[in-house]
Amino acid sequence: MSTAETTTKSAAAFRTISEVSDDLDVPQHVLRFWETKFPQVKPLKRAGRRRYYRPEDLDVLRQIRDLLYRDGYTIKGVQKLFKDGNFKEEAPEVHSDSAQSKPAKIDNDLGTLLTSGLGTDEQRKLLMELKKIRSLLS
């Protein structure tokens, strides 16, 4: 399937593993591995065990990718987030059209986490330290 055909698919269309791999920039074997670690990812399997991912699967995979690669969580850490329900139900925004910058969004997210009572004192201290480090790097 060509790239042009992939981009013209409806948002509600099912995707093959190669399309998902290209879309998320994650190797296919990693997607298969994540299926074994995250029961939330349940692609349909057809004849020949070919996988077809639903839009909901893509949303979950995108969250997993971001938590692991961007936010630095471990597999166990992401599993705990899913188990505890501390993850976004909706798909994360790919393109932010809002006026809020990424650092400002992180500040808001950290503030929400710190004031919500989530996490241990150690985790909150670590988050505050990371915030200080980020401001020094900016």
Model pTM score: 0.58
The predicted pLDDT at position 95 comes to 40
Q: Dump pLDDT digits (tens) for 48-87.
A: 888 899 999 999 999 999 999 998 899 999 999 888 887 6
Domains and CATH numbers, the chain: 11-89 (1.10.1660.10), 98-138 (no CATH)
- The CA distance from 2 to 6, in Å, is 7
Mean pLDDT of 33-50: 90
> Which pLDDT does position 2 carry in this prediction?
47
Asked if the model's pLDDT at residue 128 lies above 70, the reply is: yes
Tell me the per-residue pLDDT of 26-35, one tens digit each, with 9 for 90 and over. 999 999 999 9
